[in-house]
């Protein structure tokens, strides 16, 4: 009877969390788009929302769109006025008929000159020279490329060289390339260079062109006098090799919405595919600032003392102002659901307490950070005794107990008994040593010893393999733990415990009539989706 009652109560609770149907269904996600390329994606740079994707996580050869990542790394690590000297390796290790500037060993250009040649002319010897200048060698630069890609969230890519020339270990997915492009087009220096249609190499810089040289951008959608020009294009990068086919990355902006289109393994349709993606995006979607619409999180009251929980009256939580969501053109923000996520990455703002994920149906349409700020005169962590102080007290208590145990002495009787026992042990051990000598010298012992060594070696190897497997399985879990610890640290700085903050936010959400929160089943689906 009790079991039946328990099941009934569980069902009642579950049904209570099931979201109610709204009077009007949300506008469906537009789907009137297709491309001929094998892989592609359309992403809103401001929100990170994916508006269209085709095989977006499949790896493809990128060709020269690789140079977007190369340029971004150089811009972040080198001064534009630094001098780059071209080595024999940089100019003489190129594939036949690959795109070049015409530099020779011993030529010198500024980093700025090289970046224009890299992005506009797609010069491969320039890519090599920049890599050597930035990291010391092309192999070392490739390591920087993979580190930067991982930092940006790329998981389906690997880079082996700075140019994008054919290499079986050099590949990228459309989604990862969009993340790289997003970072690049948020860099003002990159945009300034990449949006240029032509550039003049100064006279006296190149042996082959002593009077200087003018070259033009390869991206045809950027040039106004070209039949493929597209209004709103900011910049981009072309690519082609025999293995990669046509690849193209393009960024365009209209009406405050900035989109990046990636086309991989195109079949001479990379420009028409890109145009189709942009037409689809600008026609069917709109960008909505979160701070103007989200009444749930946009202004959490200064006094967060809720339900008897004192949380620091001088603390204020706000949504960062630059956040946006991307919705269907006829969609409403009221149809968006939000979820708090405390797993903060390293690139989160300094004052961030949590990340807000916004979803439209099953689509992630944007993210924002809930940031903490204080009024003048408030000192973070001064609200109550810090956790670190409590930990110190606990440690000292443990230390005192340990010292007490160590200082305990034995009684005289126990000492005498121990002395007698030692003498007996010595006599018995002498007899045992004789037996040991004869046994250890036997052939049987030698064989057993060898077998034991082999078993030990096999065990060590097996243990190493098992250790690698465990490491791979626990890597994601460890990352989540680190992010959780980062969140706990930030909360501690503002005088919160994790439990207190969760209770505060739950109470706040119940008191607000803002955007709807996901029900029980939606929360379950979202959790598995994020994993």
Residues with active-site annotation: 64, 67, 122
CA dihedral 182, 185, 190, 194 (to 10 degrees): 110
Spatial distance between the Cα atoms of 491 and 344, rounded to a whole number of angstroms = 12
Q: Give the largest CA-CA distance in the chain.
A: 105
Of the candidates 517, 504, 500, the residue with the CA atom closest to the CA atom of residue 294: 517
Distance CA 498, CA 90 (A): 54
User: DSSP string covering 312-378, please?
Assistant: -TTEEEEE-TT-EEEEETT--GGG-EEEEE----TTS-TTEEEEEEEEETTEEEEEEEEEEEE-TT-
Cβ-based burial of 361 (10 A; exposed 0-12, middle 13-18, buried ≥19): middle
Question: Cα separation of 323 and 308, whole Å?
Answer: 32
Helix runs in 60-110, H state only? 67-77, 88-92
Cβ-in-10-Å burial (0-12, 13-18, 19+) of 416 comes to: exposed
Q: What is the DSSP letter of 1?
A: -
Q: Could you say which DSSP state residue 117 is in? A: I
Specify the residue for token string 């009642």.
Answer: 12
- Residue 250 in tokens: 């393009």
């Amino acid at each position: 009877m009790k079991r039946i009652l328990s099941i009934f109560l569980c069902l009642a609770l579950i049904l209570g969390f099931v979201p109610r149907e709204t009077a009007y269904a949300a506008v469906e996600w537009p789907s009137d788009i297709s491309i001929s390329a094998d892989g592609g994606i359309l992403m809103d740079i401001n929100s990170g929302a994916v508006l269209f994707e085709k095989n977006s996580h499949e790896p493809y050869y990128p060709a020269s769109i690789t140079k977007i990542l190369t340029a971004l790394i150089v811009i972040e690590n080198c001064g534009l006025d630094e001098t780059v000297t071209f080595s024999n390796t940089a100019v003489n290790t190129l594939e036949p008929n690959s795109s070049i500037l015409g530099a020779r060993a011993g030529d010198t250009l500024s980093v700025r000159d090289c970046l224009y040649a890299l992005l506009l002319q797609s010069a491969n010897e320039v890519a090599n020279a920049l890599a050597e200048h930035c990291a010391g060698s092309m192999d070392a630069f490739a390591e920087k490329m993979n580190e930067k890609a991982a930092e940006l969230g790329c998981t389906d890519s690997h880079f082996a060289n700075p140019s994008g020339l054919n290499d079986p270990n050099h590949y990228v997915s459309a989604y990862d390339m969009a993340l790289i492009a997003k970072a690049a087009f948020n860099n003002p220096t990159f945009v300034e260079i990449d949006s240029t249609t032509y550039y003049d190499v100064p006279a006296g810089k190149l042996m082959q062109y002593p009077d200087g040289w003018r070259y033009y951008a390869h991206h045809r959608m950027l040039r106004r006098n070209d039949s493929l020009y597209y209004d709103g294009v900011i910049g981009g990068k072309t690519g082609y090799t025999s293995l990669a086919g046509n690849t193209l990355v393009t960024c365009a902006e209209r009406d405050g919405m900035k989109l990046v289109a990636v086309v991989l393994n195109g079949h001479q349709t990379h420009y028409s595919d890109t145009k189709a993606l942009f037409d689809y995006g600008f026609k069917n979607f709109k960008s909505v600032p979160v701070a103007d619409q989200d009444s749930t999180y946009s202004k959490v009251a200064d006094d967060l003392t809720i339900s008897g929980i004192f949380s620091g009256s001088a603390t204020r939580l706000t949504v960062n102002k630059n956040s946006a969501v991307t919705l269907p053109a006829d969609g409403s923000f009221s149809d968006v659901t939000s979820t708090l996520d405390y797993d903060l990455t390293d690139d989160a703002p300094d004052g961030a307490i949590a990340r807000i994920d916004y979803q439209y149906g099953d689509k992630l349409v944007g993210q924002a950070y809930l940031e903490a700020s204080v009024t003048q005169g408030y000192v973070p962590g001064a609200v109550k005794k810090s956790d670190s102080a409590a930990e110190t007290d606990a440690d000292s208590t443990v230390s005192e107990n340990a010292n007490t145990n160590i200082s305990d002495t034995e009684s005289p009787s126990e000492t005498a008994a121990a002395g007698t026992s030692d003498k007996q042990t010595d006599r018995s051990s002498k007899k045992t040593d004789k037996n040991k000598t004869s046994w250890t010298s036997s052939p049987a012992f030698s064989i057993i010893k060898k077998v034991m060594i082999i078993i030990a070696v096999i065990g060590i190897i097996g243990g190493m393999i098992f250790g690698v497997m465990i490491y791979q399985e626990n890597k994601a879990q460890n990352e989540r733990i680190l992010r959780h610890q980062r969140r706990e640290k930030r909360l501690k700085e503002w005088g919160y415990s994790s439990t207190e903050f969760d209770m505060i936010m739950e109470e706040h959400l119940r008191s607000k009539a803002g955007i709807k929160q996901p029900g029980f089943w939606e929360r379950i689906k979202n959790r598995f989706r994020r994993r």
